[in-house]
Structure 1
Amino acid sequence: MKPLLTFLLCVSMTMAHAFTIPVDSAQMFVDSLEATFNYQHGEIKFENEIGTLNVPAGFRYLDAKQTEYVIHDLWGNPGGSGTLGMILPDEIPITDGRSWAFIISYEEMGHVKDDDADDIDYDEMLGQLQEETVEENKEREKEGYEPITIVGWAAKPYYDADKKVLHWAKEIKFGTAEANTLNYNVRILGRKGVLVLNAVASMDELPDVEKNISPVLSSFSYSDGNKYSDFNPDLDEVAAWTIGGLVAGKVLAKVGILALLLKNIKLIGLAIVGAFAAARKWLKRKVEPPTVRDIGGTDAPPPVV
């Protein structure tokens, strides 16, 4: 990304000379971007009707469409679709480099049995995950994304058998980035699948994430008929994966970005791109002939000359 930012910086300097862009234009761009988000509080009923989220005190919610924009366009992850939204701290703007969030999704994989929870060697699993990542990086790089390195457990996997909740966290290095990324994973088991919460943050934000795990967990409740205890062996399918499979993450491979998310906000680059786009639009209007729409007609293209 550094060569790209260098290029964009050069472009911005040229534009600043040509169009006299104010020094604080970057901050203006960030402020205007933040103002576009529609944050919500209180009770959120998900469209798939699996349950209800009561946004915990000190947090706010962004819907699925806005979350996709954040994941893909602000953080630079592939994809971004398939979420139920995100919750993030009230006091930190999503465009702030200190921001972090819980990405919410649901995977209807079947009823997850928890019989193996006490028998898993998580140190051995970590070694396997690190080896597999080396191969997966080949595909990531083909698609133009940075390779990743799983540094280790930031929080060793723990399963709460009473609440049917699984926790674990990975410390991840993206490419040659100086700061490592935290992926704190939570899975709330239900009748036919699991609610997925992935906290995306930097490693130095781990204490903030950990102290908010309890209120975040208590904020979600499955609707009647979707609870873990509602499982009916005569009607419901059993998932091919157990607790160990959830931690390994293979079951979420088709979701892609939800398994490993990078918080990679490059606001300077965004401001430059925003300024460049505005300047390009201005230039385009100067050199292109008007369309019929420009002069108050329909959306039909201009006649060929």
Structure 2
Amino acid sequence: MPKLKLLPLLAFSLCLAISLIRAADEPASDTSESLLKRLNWIKGPARADLKSLAEIQVPEGFVFTGAKETRQLLEAMGNPTSGSELGFLAPTSLAWFVVFEFSDVGYVKDDDKDKLNAEKLLKSIKAGTEQANQFREKMGAAPLHITGWEIPPHYNEQTHNLEWAIRAESEGHPVINYNTRLLGRKGVMEVNLVIDPEKLNTAMPAYQTVLKDYSYKAGERYAEYHQGDKLAKYGLAALITGGAAAVAVKTGLFASLIVLFKKGWKLVVLAVAAVVAWFKRLITGGRKTRETPQ
């Protein structure tokens, strides 16, 4: 199951900032701001498609871009892509962002919904993360250590949404890995929230609104399962432990970016401010955007 290498918001902003810092010596087409301008943005309020699978409502003050553009953004940040990325959503403040990625593993049965033992799951995740630290060491990244649940696993039988959030630390810095899995007929929409841990509580109302306004299209909904459809080879518990293991291996960029941020934070803050200002200009009408019809 392909996984996005999750980057904290700091990493996202920093990568864009570093590009902007270097912009003076590079052609304009190579700068992060130039990349942002070239992408097709939908500004809220509007409806946006996640290809033919689902749709979301883009709130006012937010921007969205589709599958191809999402991969371009992630690759510009030095983040390998899997081809399963479908969308990127963020407020213009860049306080947080969401990446939508679809895993076509088949219909995931929720038979184990009443057997999600948070204590056992956390123990498994901790063990897997410590093993993954061996790979992080080879990558030159600092170890990542799980400290507990921020939000224990919870499954909503009505919406077929699975959510959990894990607290961790790397080199003394707090990390939150917040995950939502939206079950569909043919697979799972993986919604990865990337945020500074200190801003999580503030962002949750807006994030929950985004999830509430998400919907699978006709024929793709969980309730529309037909006998003979492809079945996933695992259940809800494996979505949690498998997702956490992948994140533990793939967040190696976090620690190195934290160190770089410490060394040049004043310059970086100025450059990040330029990126945020560009997003705000996008919202206030500085550039026309492509909007999907209501």
Q: Same fold (TM over 0.5)?
A: yes
Aligned partners of 2:252, 2:58: CA distance in 1, in Å? Answer: 24
d(CA) in 2 for partners of 1:145 and 1:226?
Answer: 39
CA distance in 2, matches of 1:121, 1:59: 36
Structure 2 partner of 1:87: 89
Q: What is the CA-CA distance between 1:43 and the residue it aligns to?
A: 2.1
- Asked whether the equivalents of residues 84 and 105 of structure 1 are also in contact (C-alpha less than 8 Å), the reply is yes
Deviation of 1:33 (Å)? 2.8
Q: Which runs of 4+ in 1 moved over 6 A?
A: none
Number of residue-to-residue matches in the alignment: 234
Partner of 1:125: 121
5 Å matches for 1:31-50? 33-34=32-33, 36-37=35-36, 38=39, 39-41=41-43, 42-47=46-51, 49-50=52-53
| Root mean square deviation of aligned Cα | 3.3
- Any idea what the Cα deviations from partners look like across 1:248-301, whole Å, max 9, x if unmatched? 1259849x75x99959586759x79xxxxxxxxxxxxxxxxxxxxxxxxxxxxx
In the alignment, does 2:186 pair up with 1:192? yes
The answer to whether the 8 Å contact 1:56/1:219 transfers is: no
Give how far 1:132 is off.
Answer: 1.3
For structure 2, which runs of at least 5 residues remain unmatched after alignment? 1-19, 269-294
Moved more, 182-191 or 212-221: 212-221
Sort the Cα spacing of 1:139 and 1:28 in 2 relative to 1 into closer, same or farther, 3 A: closer
| % same residue | 27
**Equivalent-residue separation in structure 1 for 2:188 and 2:253 (angstroms):** 18
Q: Which residue of 2 aligns with 1:242?
A: 235
Q: 1:253 to 1:107 in 2, by over 3 A?
A: same
Asked whether the 8 Å contact 2:108–2:183 carries over to 1, the reply is: yes
- Correspondence list, 1:1-305, <5 A: 26=21, 33-34=32-33, 36-37=35-36, 38=39, 39-41=41-43, 42-47=46-51, 49-74=52-77, 77-79=79-81, 81-90=83-92, 92-93=93-94, 99-174=95-170, 176=171, 178-233=172-227, 235-249=228-242, 253=246, 257=250, 262=254, 264=257, 268=264
Higher relative contact order structure (alpha carbons within 8 Å, sequence separation ≥ 6): 2
TM-score (norm 2): 0.68
Aligned mates of 1:160, 1:260 — CA distance in 2: 32
- Distance in 2, matches of 1:191 and 1:73, equals 32
Q: Is the 8 A contact 1:185 1:196 kept in 2?
A: yes
Deviation at 1:64, TM superposition (A): 3.3
